[in-house]
Amino acid sequence: MEEEPETPSAGLITLKEWVGQCGYSHSYVVHVMPRYYPDFPAPERTRQGATDKGGGGGSNLYDSAKLEPFRPRRPDPVELPAEFLDEQVTLGRFARMIGVHGRSVSQIKDQRPDTVPPTVDGSRHWYPRARYFVRDLLLMWNSRPGRGQGSDKRRPRLPWQAESE
C-alpha cells in the first residue's frame, strides 16, 4: 500500500515557514522554544524523519493560530494622511505628528544612526534642525523591530542603508 503525498492543510504551517515570517532563527524555534516555553504547541502533524530531540522538526506541521502568541511583538505601525508624506519636518515635529514624546524619535539617531534617513538636502549626518521627508521618517519608524535581545536581526533593510553597506 502506497502512502499519499502530504499536502499542507489550511491553517497549518511548518516552522521553517513560520520563522521566515517572524524573524526567529530556525534552530532557536526547534531546539529552544519548546524547552523554555511549556505551552509551546506540539505539531499537529508530524512528518517522516522527525525525532523527539528536534531533528527534522522544521517540516512538521503546526497550527498557525497556536503559534501566534509566540510571534515577536512589534510596535503597531503608524499611518498618516497622504498629504503629509512629502512634508519636510524636524525629528521633533515628526514625533508630535505621530503622537509620541520627542525623545522616542530622537533617541533613534543616537542609538542607530544608520536607520535615520538622509535629510532633504541629501546629508547622511544629523545636524540641529535637520529636516527630513515625513515618508522617510514614517518608513524608519514603522520598521522598528520592537523590544528584546536580538531585535536588530529582525530589523528590515531600509532603502538608504543599501548604498552605505
* pLDDT tens digits, one per residue of 82-129: 999 999 999 999 999 999 898 988 888 888 888 889 999 988 888 889
What is the reported pLDDT for 3?
A: 40
Considering its fold, how many domains does the chain have in total? 2
Q: Are residues 58 and 31 in the same domain?
A: yes
Strand ranges inside 54-128, DSSP E: 61-63, 88-89
- The boundaries of the domain holding residue 26 are 12-70
Q: Are 151 and 23 in contact (CB under 8 A)?
A: no
Q: Are residues 56 and 97 in the same domain?
A: no
Q: Are residues 63 and 99 in the same domain?
A: no
Q: What is the pLDDT confidence band of residue 6, given thresholds at 50, 70 and 90?
A: very low
**More confident position, 115 or 135:** 135
CA atoms within 13 A on the CB side of 110: 6
Q: What is the pLDDT of residues 19-59, one digit of tens each?
A: 877 777 788 888 888 888 888 998 888 766 655 555 554 57
- The average confidence (pLDDT) of the chain is 78
DSSP helix/strand/coil, 63: strand
Q: Are residues 59 and 88 in the same domain?
A: no
Residue 127: inside a domain, yes or no? Answer: yes
What is the reported pLDDT for 55?
A: 53
Residue 157: inside a domain, yes or no? Answer: no
Q: The pTM is what?
A: 0.54
Q: CA–CA separation, 159 vs 165, rounded Å?
A: 11
Q: What is the pLDDT of residues 56-77, one digit of tens each?
A: 545 788 898 998 888 876 666 7
Residue 7: inside a domain, yes or no? Answer: no
Residue 36: inside a domain, yes or no? Answer: yes
